[in-house]
Amino acid sequence: MKIALLGYGRMGKEIEQIAISRGHEIVIKKDANDVIDINLADVAIDFSVPTSAFDNITNCINNNVPVISGTTGWLEKYNEVVALCEEKKGAFIYASNFSLGVNIFFELNKQLAKMMSHLEDYNISMEEIHHTKKLDAPSGTAITLAEGIIKNSSKTMWELDQKTVENSIPIVAKRIPDVPGTHTVWYNSEVDTIEIKHTAHSRKGFALGAVIAAEWILGKTGVFNMKDVLNIG
Ligand SMILES: NC(=O)c1ccc[n+]([C@@H]2O[C@H](COP(=O)([O-])OP(=O)(O)OC[C@H]3O[C@@H](n4cnc5c(N)ncnc54)[C@H](O)[C@@H]3O)[C@@H](O)[C@H]2O)c1
Ligand SMILES: O=C(O)C1=N[C@H](C(=O)O)CCC1
């Protein structure tokens, strides 16, 4: 497969290594203001910055190149991308986290939220820890976890670093040098605590999931997610 990397930072470089080890060719490495011809690629993988993801993704869809995006912090425009993809009969996958382990963790989190939803003695809270270069907070993964809980409980919203609303889920975002990504969900009562936690040991899991998604989407039309790719949930 000929792959365009839209964003050649920490993740772009990690994806390059895994893609080459799986027999693919990197034909475009786009950073910042580089001008590219996206038609050189069979598939594009966008891990860029929140302000550029929308333009990168729509350029692919407008040129009929399937696109995988892992960039976080741009989702206010997600529905616009979905509408464009449907109109152009394109192919698109966004995931806040491409690692297999986190996608299993997402399902576990929803199941636990369902089971806890009638137990009023437990207070829910979340924490995400990432490296100090991360631009957005809370992480996309933390938002997906919170949305999974909201769909399966009486919680109605999440709040960053505070709890001002009774029915909200507070998310604490910590920034510590070199941490690839750690997410914890707690249910705390007077008598005990239930904790589920995912710790990424490196960026390899995110990169492998993105390459697997790129291999999977080739020849398909539509808007998909990692549950479709991994056939879970
Ligand atoms: N979904 C996941 O599994 C997952 C995993 C890790 C990181 N991320 C997200 O991926 C994104 C990138 O993470 P990173 O750690 O590689 O960041 P990074 O800062 O190391 O890399 C981003 C790169 O994008 C480049 N860039 C800026 N403008 C661009 C443009 N218009 N087109 C293309 N590239 C442009 C920057 O120059 C930089 O090299 C972030 O949003 C992060 O939250 C998602
Ligand atoms: O390093 C990052 O930035 C990460 N971003 C994603 C998020 O916001 O959830 C996934 C984990 C790493």
Q: What tens digit of pLDDT does each residue of 55-109 get?
A: 999 999 999 999 999 999 999 999 999 999 999 999 999 999 999 999 999 999 9
Check pocket membership of 7 for ligand 2, CB cut-off 6 A.
no
Quick check: is 29 catalytic? Answer: no
| pLDDT at residue number 137 | 97
Largest CA distance in the chain: 60
Q: Specify the residue with its C-alpha closest to ligand 2, atom 12.
A: 181
Nearest Cα neighbor of 170 from 157, 151, 189, 152 is: 157
CA of 105 to the centre of ligand 1 (A): 23
Q: Whose CA is nearest to atom 10 of ligand 2?
A: 97
Using CA positions, which residue lies closest to atom 3 of ligand 1? 97
Arithmetic mean of pLDDT, 142-167: 96
* Residue 130 is a catalytic residue: yes
- Distance (Å, whole) CA 167 – CA 159: 10
Q: What confidence category does residue 208 fall into, taking pLDDT thresholds of 50, 70 and 90? A: very high
Q: Kindly report, residue by residue over 111-126, the tens digit of the pLDDT.
A: 999 999 999 999 999 9
Does residue 69's CB lie within 6 angstroms of at least one atom of ligand 1? no
- Could you tell me the distance, in angstroms and rounded to a whole number, from the CA of residue 97 to the centre of ligand 2? 7
Q: What is the topology classification, in CATH, of domain 100-199?
A: Dihydrodipicolinate Reductase; domain 2 (3.30.360)
How far is ligand 1, taken at its centre, from the CA of residue 61, in Å? 19
**pLDDT above 80 for 146:** yes
Give me ligand 2 centre to Cα 167, in Å: 26
Q: Give the mean model confidence (pLDDT) for residues 193-200.
A: 98
Question: Residue 134's pLDDT band (boundaries 50, 70, 90)?
Answer: very high
For position 232, what pLDDT does the model report?
A: 87
Which candidate in 2, 134, 163, 204 is catalytic? 134
Query: What does pLDDT average to over the chain?
Result: 97
The proportion of the chain whose per-residue pLDDT surpasses 70, expressed as a percent, equals 100
Compute the distance between CA of residue 166 and CA of residue 7 in angstroms, rounded to an integer: 40
**What distance in Å separates the CA atoms of residue 186 and residue 176, rounded to the nearest whole number?**
20
138 preceded by a cis bond (ω within 30 of 0): yes
- Predicted local confidence at residue 202, as pLDDT: 98
CATH 3.40.50.720 segments of the chain:
2-98+204-230
Which contiguous run of DSSP H or E holds residue 70? Answer: none
Do residues 48 and 7 touch, judged by C-beta distance below 8 A? yes
pLDDT of residue 212: 98
Give the number of whichever ligand sits closest to the CA of residue 33: 1
Tell which one of 129, 130, 171, 175 to mutate to probe ligand 2, the residue whose CB is within 8 A of the most ligand atoms: 130
Is 2 touching ligand 1 by the criterion CB < 6 Å?
A: no
CA end-to-end span of the chain = 28
Run of H or E including 77: none
Task: Give the bridge partners for 208, in sequence order.
Answer: none
Q: Say if ligand 2 is within 6 A of residue 130 CB.
A: yes
Of residues 232 and 152, more confidently modeled: 152
> Count of residues for the chain?
233
Segments of the chain assigned to CATH 3.30.360.10: 100-199
CATH class of segment(s) 2-98+204-230: alpha beta
